[in-house]
Amino acid sequence: MTFLMITGRTVNQGVTVENKTSPEYAAETSTCFMHEFDMMELGLDDGDAVRVTGPCGEVVMRAAASPEVEMGTVFVPYGPYANHIVAAGTRSTGMPDFKSHEVEIEPADEEPKLVHELMEDLGGLAYDR
Amino acid sequence: MTELLVKNACVIDPLRGINGETMDIAIRDGKIVEEVSDAAEVIDARGMLTLPGGVDSHTHICGTKVNFGRYMSPEDMRAGRTPRRGAMHATSGYSVPTTYGNSYRYSVMGYTTLLEGAMAPLEARHTHEEFTYTPLQDTMANTLFDGNWAILEAIRDGDVKRVAAIIAWTLKAVKGFGVKLTNPGGTEAWQWGKNVSCIRDPVPYFEVTPAEIIRSIVEANELLHLPHSVHLHCNNLGTPGNYSCTLGSFGLIPDLNEKRQTLYATHVQFHAYGGSEWKDFCSKSEPIARFVDMRPQIVMDMGQVMFGRTTTMTADGPMEFNLYRLHHEKWSNHDVELETGSGIIPVIYRRKNLVNSIMWAIGLELALLTKSPWQCLLSTDNPNGAPFVKYPEIIGLLMSKRYRDAEFATVHPDTESRVPLPAIERELDWHEIAVMTRAGAARALGIQDLGKGHLAPGADADVAIYPLKIDEVDPSAEYQKVIDAFSRTEYTIKRGRVVARRGECLVHGSNATLWVAPKVSDGYDMGKDPDFIEKFDRYYTVRMSNYPVQEEYVTRNRRIETEAEL
Amino acid sequence: MIVKDAVCPFCGCLCDDIEVEVEEGRVVAVTNACELGTTKFMGEKRMKNPILRVGDEWKDITYDEAVKYAADMLLAAERPLLYGWSGTHGEAQCVGVHMAELIHGVIDNTSSVCHGPSILAIQEVGHPGCTLGVVKNRADLVIYWGSNPIDAHPRHLSRYTRYAEGFFLENAFRDRKVIVVDVRKTESANIADEFIKIRPGGDYAVLSALRAIVQGKADTIPRTVAGVTREQLVRVANLCKSAKFGAVYFGLGLTMTQGKYKNIRNAIELVSELSRHTKFTISAMRGHYNVYGSNEVNTWMTGYPFGIDFSRGIAFYNPGETTAVDILARKECDAALIVGSDPAAHFPRKCLEHLAEIPVVQLDPYPNATTAFCNVQIPVAVTGIDAEGTAYRMDGVPIRTRRVLSSDYLSDEEVLARMYALMQEARER
């Protein structure tokens, strides 16, 4: 199914942002908040893994129901998971389209990666795993 | 010990009564001295015009609103840029240059001391940070008190001593130099989107009038024995017919100080307008100049307008909003809690515009009609009337009737019927220019005893040597030579070092800041006053302990202690 | 020991009323701060010493070695990028600008990916704003547009708006209306008097509709605009016009969505329009505690708030070309110095792929996502905890952060000054 992906700050993202190697930060920023009807449609329960595919790649997150999001949109806390699929074009402003990406979401069998695994996939080397 | 000897200088030093005498200037360790040893480095001035370093007694160069002028104007930044070269950092900007841009361009023109015209106390730290990056001048900051709640309340209660005590605490806390009133009462009214029309119009809620604010603060200023007088931007700036408001404000001022004026009225050009609307707008420079001629207690600066693009910026928020509605250019406003405000818009002054042409004439008229140059100093209210790099052209206009006539021929044709300028024959001389650009400014600021504005032994060795010989140039005819010379010194000497030579700045420099700490008795220490503390805690959004500007922000600290009558 | 009136180095609210209790060189309790600030003050697990990546291993190195590595890397680079700066004090930012100028680099700060578009809008139409205390003492109407203070700036509501006392408000909680405009019904929307829910991407249209109504053209408005009914728009426009003092605070919900800086421009023009009727102001909810300071420092030193390119000697500014995401995505820079931010967590993946290809040095107290892309990371003191220096609050008020405990870590300014000194020496040779 196609969704509009919006990213943004949350308290939990903020609380863990100074400790990005923590499992809490990974858990928060890999959460895909969805409308419960959309989840039903995809056959998802809270905590189920989903594959989110954007214009430049895919990433596995966990779905969570939220009364704050509309049907057809998903909300992902600002961080490395969302950015794994966000395009780098800025339309001559310096600012990517962080809040207006169309993504495809489907149930997945794998677990979300850890932050350092995402970084290593892109050529980095984890320090404090 | 470092020594420098400037030989064969043609010196005009008005504060010492020296007018065009060829002499040597001896300098040791940053100060003027009687004589130096044979080991001193020698500069041969070869008879060139040599003046004390320039003092700008009203300019906007550093702080929140100046920086916002840059921030919102990349087009202005692009209009003047230089790369890093030698000791000079990169610069940007034309009407609101970066701090290095200001410092280098002033230095090349021979200026060594600058007064920032308006600093909101809450944001003082910002002004001081920028001073640090204005390395080739010594600086001081006029501190805004026009809408200060604690002061408005004390005035309402008729307690001038409390007014003085609040000023004392604030100046010391924010390392301010002088007391600035910008549209007194108007900036507070503007936080409701309102304004005061003139000096008898009460401020909403506080129910005090601008006249009461001006009178009380002038008295308080003298109780504190501050070096500078109250520095006033009158109410009603920029509106037709405002000259009567200006005269009314001037009329409030008694003569309270024998060493200097009691009121410094700034950018008076913007306050010398006749007419009842834009259609019959005209010059009222004559009544203003006549009034000032009769009152030694008043000194003003011109606020000259020059044609071209610039940026207007002032604490006078409501005035900027009115300008915005006239020009429809971009508009910024920044109100500051419990204190004051500010506004910014870019403007273009055009020769083809009648009002702009009249404004241009009024500034010149004020300087030419006021008898004593000590009472009308040269300024553009940089950058409001024009960027300071236009000063040499203004000097040219003041010294040459021929140049004025040539310029007048290019302005709006109806200007002639609205201004007295074409009939004024006076041409200022070198001595008068030296008064208007350094000696008079230093005396008005009260810093001549601190070694500014003159070259007597003991003074700061701030010297400007211009590539021009006054006995060989007729300024009336050869005004272009005058402009060229005042645009670029042969040498600018700051604190005994050559800092600029023929347009290049040669050293990194290091700024000194002059600020005032009035000494008051314990009973008048607002830091211990329960009512003051309680209101501070409740209504400011910064804690009182985090408000004062720490020593770290002042590179070279020139603290001036005064004995207050409190 | 208890340190009073400490300054919180987390978000742009820059709360300066924090009490921090320190025992044996550690923060043991924090009073007055929100959850975000408290967590930062209590932060543990700092990196102990500089590290160098050698192949697939990390090796401990000395500060001297790390500083030398950084200086050599920057001197050898043809197009170095100096990025971050929002998470450090102004004094360090100043050294960064001098450094960029010396090596003809590009210096950009995190505002290019937060409120850069707001700055572009301000450069078009200006900015009628005020300090936070003006709103606290006067505003009877506050609008949060595309911002969610409960999550991002938790004490904004209690210090300055919803729950704050105000001099001119008899009963501030009752007399002050709060409107939230968002595409999601956030926590902040729950405490508002009125919530306007906009269809994603519809902010520009809604702002235009409000401007039209304020100008007296309500009859031109269709029944709904981006999901908002005409009735609600008219009601809100009237609330704005009848307020004595209105304040708009906008967030990334406007800068990051479709339209970007044009949304902000429209919001500012709405406020300028309302200023003809009553008092109205607008301000950005700045994120990092000193992102605004970074804009201020860059502006007085170079003329521009962010995205400054010194490659031609002069300061050159062209967002979209001279901004970090673009420079990385175009694979333009050949070395990067990162200070006080974590681009690997916040930039699109394409940027990270390039970071992996080039030498990178980072100054940061903690291991973070960017660490994985570093050749060298240099741990530094945390401004506001074991280093002090200037920060600018979201409204431009500068405050000196306090040092609440001492440590052996050098501050960002000290490390950068050492690098700069080496670089100057090399360039003068």
- Quickly list DSSP for C175-197: H-EEEEEESS--HHHHTSSEEEE
Q: Is residue A67 part of a domain?
A: yes
Identify the CA nearest to B432 among candidates B488, B386, B464, B475: B475
CB neighbour burial string for C41-70, b if at least 16 within 10 angstroms, e if fewer: bbeeebbeebbbbeeeebeebebeebbbbb
Q: CB–CB of C348 and A83 under 8 A?
A: yes
Confidence band of A129 (pLDDT split at 50, 70, 90):
low
Closest chain A residue to the Cα of C87, Cα to Cα: A18
Asked, for residue A63, whether it belongs to a domain, the answer is yes
> With b meaning 16 or more CB within 10 Å and e meaning fewer, what string describes C154-173?
bbbbebbbbebebbbbeebe
pLDDT of residue A18: 74
Q: What does each C-alpha distance from A112 to A48, A51, A74 come to in angstroms?
A: 10, 9, 17
Residue C101 contacts B where some CB pair is shorter than 8 Å: yes
C116–A94 CB contact, under 8 Å? yes
Whole domain around residue A21: which residue ranges?
A: 2-121
Largest CA distance in chain A: 41
C184 min Cα distance to partner chain B (Å): 30
Bridge partner list, A4: A73, A102
Task: Assess whether pLDDT exceeds 90 at residue B294.
Answer: yes
Cα B291 to chain centroid distance, Å, stands at 22
pLDDT digits (tens, 9 = 90+) for B43-77: 999 999 999 999 999 999 999 999 999 999 999 99
Identify the CATH number of the domain defined by range B51-504: 3.20.20
Asked whether the beta carbons of residue C185 and residue A123 sit closer than 8 angstroms, the reply is no
Calculate mean pLDDT across residues C87-101. Answer: 98
Q: pLDDT grade, residue C45 (50/70/90)?
A: confident
CA dihedral (C263, C264, C269, C275) positive or negative: positive
Q: How far is CA A50 from the centre of its chain?
A: 10
**Interface touch A125/C56, C-beta < 8 Å:** yes
Residue pLDDT, tens place only, B234-252:
999 999 999 999 999 999 9
Q: What is the mean pLDDT of chain B?
A: 97
Please, which residues 350-379 of chain C have a Cβ atom closer than 8 Å to chain B? none
**Tens digit of each residue's pLDDT (9 = 90 or more) over B419-457:** 999 999 999 999 999 999 999 999 999 999 999 999 999
Give the tens place of pLDDT for each residue, C109-148: 999 999 999 999 999 999 999 999 999 999 999 999 999 9
* Chain C residue whose CA is closest to B194: C279
Residue to mutate among C113, C150, C180, C184, with most A CBs inside 10 A, is: C184
C368-389 pLDDT tens trace: 999 999 999 999 999 999 999 9
Q: What is residue A23's predicted lDDT score, i.e. its pLDDT?
A: 85
Range list for CATH 3.40.50.740 in chain C: 43-113+289-428
Which residue from C150, C257, C351 is facing A100, i.e. has the nearest CB? C257
Q: Please give the average per-residue pLDDT across B546-562, as a whole number.
A: 95
User: For residue B517, what are the β-bridge partners?
Assistant: B561
Pairwise CA distance, residues B173 & B536, whole Å: 14
CB contact under 8 A, C356 and A123: yes
Following DSSP, what letter does each residue of B342-393 receive, concatenated?
A: -EEEEEEE-TT-HHHHHHHHHHHHHHHHSS-GGGEE---TTTTSS-GGGHHH
Contacts of A119 in chain C (CB under 8 A): 344, 352, 369, 372-373
- Give tens-digit pLDDT for B338-372: 999 999 999 999 999 999 999 999 999 999 999 99
Give the closest of B191, B192, B542 to C16, CB-based.
B542
Residue A21 is predicted with a pLDDT of 77
Share of chain A above pLDDT 70, in %: 98
Q: Are B481 and B490 in contact (CB under 8 A)?
A: no
Residue A15 has pLDDT above 80, yes or no: no
Q: Do C304 and B68 touch (CB under 8 A)?
A: no
Pairwise CA distance, residues B210 & B257, whole Å = 22
Query: Cβ(A48)–Cβ(A63) under 8 Å?
Result: yes
Run of H or E including B114: strand B111-119
- Mean pLDDT value of segment B280-299: 98
What length does chain A have? 129
Q: For residue B462, how many other CB atoms are within 10 A of its CB?
A: 31
Task: Kindly report the nearest CA distance between residue A72 and chain C, in angstroms.
Answer: 10
Token pair of B132, please?
Answer: 């640090």
Please name the CATH architecture into which domain C116-284 falls: 3-Layer(aba) Sandwich (3.40)
Which of A 45-104 lie inside 8 A of C, CB atoms? 56-57, 67-70, 73, 75, 78-80, 83-100
Report the gap between the CA of B510 and the closest CA in chain C (Å).
15
* pLDDT, position C359: 98
Closest by Cβ to C397, choosing from B82, B84, B123:
B123
**C308 strand-pairing partners:** C107, C317
Answer whether B touches A (≥3 Cβ pairs < 8 Å): no
CB neighbour class for B353 (10 Å; exposed up to 12, middle 13-18, buried from 19) = middle
What pLDDT digit, counting tens, does each position of A75-119 carry?
Answer: 999 899 999 999 999 988 999 988 888 999 999 999 999 998 999
CA-CA distance, B12 to B427, in Å (whole number)? 18
Mean pLDDT of C60-84: 98
Q: Measured between CA atoms, how close is B83 to chain C, in angstroms?
A: 4
| Chain B CB within 8 Å of residue C424 CB | no
Architecture of domain C43-113+289-428: 3-Layer(aba) Sandwich (3.40)
Beta bridge partners of B516: B560
**Does pLDDT of C429 surpass 80?**
no
Question: Residue C428: which pLDDT band, with cuts at 50, 70 and 90?
Answer: confident
C314 → closest Cβ in B81, B324, B334: B81
Asked if C54 reaches chain A (Cβ–Cβ under 8 Å), the answer is no
Count of C-beta atoms within a 10 Å radius of residue B227: 20
Residue B156 has pLDDT above 90, yes or no: yes
Dist CA C140 CA C132 (whole Å): 14
Predicted confidence at residue C222, as pLDDT, reads 96
Does A80 contact C53 at a Cβ distance shorter than 8 Å? no
Nearest to C89 by CA among C416, C351, C409, C361: C416
List chain B residues with CB under 8 Å of C304: 74, 77, 92
Q: How far apart are CA C326 and CA A87, in angstroms?
A: 11
Chain C: residue nearest B205 by CA? Answer: C168
Which strands sit side by side in the sheet containing C194-197, from one edge to the other?
Answer: C194-197, C177-182, C141-145, C245-250, C279-284
Nearest to B179 by CA among B134, B138, B214: B214
Distances in Å between the Cα of C320 and the Cα atoms of A10, B4, C117, C309, C351 are: 28, 52, 10, 12, 14
Cβ atoms within 10 Å of B200's Cβ, excluding its own: 13
B332/C129 CB distance under 8 A: yes
Is the pLDDT score of C81 beyond 60? Answer: yes
Mean pLDDT on C393-420: 97
Q: Tell me, yes or no, if C312 comes closer than 8 A to chain A by beta carbon.
A: no
Do B260 and B443 meet the contact criterion of CB atoms below 8 Å apart?
yes
Say what the pLDDT of residue C377 is: 98
The mean per-residue pLDDT over the stretch B323-330 comes to 84
**What residues form DSSP beta bridges with B185?**
none
- What CATH number does the domain containing A102 carry? 2.40.40.20
Chain B residues within 8 A of C133 when measuring between CB atoms: 337-338, 539-542
d(CA B80, CA B95): 9
Residue B177 has pLDDT above 70, yes or no: yes
Taking each helix axis from N to C terminus, what angle separates B391-399 and B354-369, rounded to the nearest 10 degrees? 60
For residue C170, give how far its alpha carbon lies from the nearest alpha carbon of chain B (Å).
14
Containing H/E element for B99?
A: helix B99-108
What is the number of CB-based contacts under 8 A between chain A and chain C?
190
Quote helix, strand, coil % in chain A, to nearest 5.
25, 30, 45
Q: Are B3 and B40 in contact (CB under 8 A)?
A: yes
Location of each CATH 3.40.228.10 domain in chain C? 116-284
Q: How near does any CA of chain C get to the CA of B204, in Å?
A: 12
Show the DSSP H helices in C230-311 as ranges. 230-242, 252-255, 261-274, 291-302
User: Rounded to the nearest 5 degrees, what angle is found at the Cα of A86, between the Cα atoms of A85 and A91?
Assistant: 155
In a domain, A54, yes or no: yes
Q: Are the C-beta atoms of B206 and B188 separated by less than 8 Å? A: yes
Confidence of residue C153 (pLDDT cuts 50, 70, 90): very high
The phi, psi pair for B217, rounded to 5°, reads -75, -35
Chain C neighbours (≥3 Cβ pairs under 8 A) are: A, B
* Mean pLDDT value across residues C97-107: 98
Q: Which two tokens stand for residue B486?
A: 């005042």
Number of domains chain A is built from: 1
The answer as to whether A14 is a domain residue is: yes
